[in-house]
Chains A and B, each alone.
Chain A
Amino acid sequence: MAIEGDPESNEHVAATLRGVLFIVVAGLALGVLHNSIGRASRPPRGLPWVKHADEAASLEALQRSAVKTVPTNGVLTLDTSATPAPRIAKPAPVAATPSQTAAPSPPASAPATPPTSPPTMAPASALPVIPDVDRPIKLELASLKKLYDVGAVLVVDAREAAEYADGHIAGATSLPYNDALTEPERIERLGEAGRPIAVYCSGGTCELSMDLAKLMLAHGRKKVLVYEGGYPEWQAAGYPVASGTQAGGR
């Protein structure tokens, strides 16, 4: 400890600080050298110095690139040679009435908010094709809604359990990212039954959905979609939501 007016102590402090500076500068130099050598070696090792946000493909962009013609009925015709991935699993049986498809019957403790307008059932041919790629695919509200309406997607909520209980997409399964990270067997237990998985969180800058999607892919899951609009956008659109710890009816 430096004592004012004690030249010996001040000298010790100065020497110690010079030592700190030396260790930091030498450490930085070694780190730069080690990674530079690694990056220059064949095959390259090490990491890029600047980390960029992963650019996940957008489902809508993939659809556009695969479109051969867009007929007047608006149904996409997909060029299967450009998108060799198989079509998604056959959708769940179509409900007979709009109220059964878009206004799911929630549990008693989880009131669902009906959509603002009666939904129209998307024909199976209009459903987006989900490519079987090894990276997350972003999708937008309209695409998610098409898949959701016919039960052709497993919706997963990556937020904390308390946020899920406050409100979630009706029928969504809760799998908080942090839980999946420490208990990956919960990913194995997801009952998607061959369907693609759509992960969402709080929209905006929330990265939990993208992180969870990558974790799922790392654990062998296929066709993992990220709905970046998240719960706020879904709720604002007036689509079915539920609250409580139960998923709520779809």
Chain B
Amino acid sequence: MNSPARFLSSPWLIKPCRIAVGIVFLAAALAKIGDPAAFATQIHHFRLAPLASENAIALLLPWIELLTGLALVLGVRARSGAWLAAGMMVVFTLAVVSAMARHLDFECGCFGTADATRVGLTKLLENLGLLVVSLIASLRAR
């Protein structure tokens, strides 16, 4: 194994990445679970999901985020949690790109109503950064 691959599969890198992503997902999930109506409104602003499904997404997605975060922080099925986190980050990043391409400009609400970051380059870079960390977290430690 060459040295970059050895570095990326090091438990000393993967474990902190999993905990960091887990904390982010826990924070995001708890904010959304506390106010599903606000989250449903924020989903609506993206104008990507069918109207009828917006409430169901707002009610269910945060719980998957919560369990993903718990899995990563507690280290129980952590790699599964990391795969899920990476998958969700891909979807979230594509949603931001789509909103930017349509010149939509609104507060992301990625952390419930506490998140006043507008959808734009900053949010895109945040998401890409978290995606990279999630991908590292999803590697198998050796």
A contacts, CB < 8 Å to B? 1, 12, 16-20, 22-24, 26-28, 30-32, 34-35, 46-53, 160, 178-179, 181-182, 207, 211
For window 46-80 of B, CB contacts with A under 8 Å fall at 47, 51-56, 58-68, 71, 77, 79-80
What total of A-B pairs shows CB separation below 8 Å? Answer: 94
Considering only CB atoms, which chain B residue lies closest to A177 in the complex? B106
A12 to chain B, nearest CB (A): 6
CA distance in complex: A219, B35 (Å): 20
Q: Given A20-B83, A28-B60, A51–B118 Cβ distance below 8 Å? A: no
CB <8 Å contact, B140 and A20: no
Residues of chain B within 8 A (CB-CB) of A19 are 71, 77, 79-81
Give 13 CB contacts A-B under 8 Å.
A17-B83, A22-B80, A23-B64, A24-B64, A24-B84, A27-B64, A30-B67, A31-B60, A46-B59, A47-B40, A50-B55, A181-B107, A182-B105
Q: Looking at the complex, which one of B36, B68, B79, B80 makes contact with A46 (CB distance below 8 Å)?
A: B36
Considering only CB atoms, which chain B residue lies closest to A32 in the complex? B60
Residues of chain B within 8 A (CB-CB) of A18 are 80
CB <8 Å contact, B67 and A26: yes
Residues of chain B within 8 A (CB-CB) of A1 are 140
Q: Given A20-B84, A23-B77, A28-B60, A47–B36 Cβ distance below 8 Å? A: yes
Residues of chain A within 8 A (CB-CB) of B104 are 178
B48 to chain A, nearest CB (A): 13
Considering only CB atoms, which chain A residue lies closest to B45 in the complex? A181
CA distance in complex: A34, B67 (Å): 14
Considering only CB atoms, which chain A residue lies closest to B103 in the complex? A160
CA distance in complex: A178, B37 (Å): 19
B contacts, CB < 8 Å to A? 33, 36-37, 40, 44-45, 47, 51-56, 58-68, 71, 77, 79-81, 83-84, 103-107, 118, 140
Considering only CB atoms, which chain B residue lies closest to A1 in the complex? B140
A208 to chain B, nearest CB (A): 10
CB <8 Å contact, B140 and A12: yes
B121 to chain A, nearest CB (A): 15
CA distance in complex: A182, B116 (Å): 9
CA distance in complex: A27, B33 (Å): 12
Q: Looking at the complex, which one of A17, A47, A207 makes contact with B58 (CB distance below 8 Å)?
A: A47
CA distance in complex: A30, B33 (Å): 11
Residues of chain A within 8 A (CB-CB) of B79 are 16, 19
CB <8 Å contact, A49 and B56: yes
Q: Looking at the complex, which one of A20, A31, A182 makes contact with B59 (CB distance below 8 Å)?
A: A31
CB <8 Å contact, A51 and B140: no
Residues of chain A within 8 A (CB-CB) of B36 are 35, 46-47
CB <8 Å contact, B55 and A48: yes
B25 to chain A, nearest CB (A): 11
Residues of chain B within 8 A (CB-CB) of A34 are 33, 59, 63
CA distance in complex: A32, B59 (Å): 8
CA distance in complex: A30, B65 (Å): 11
B34 to chain A, nearest CB (A): 11
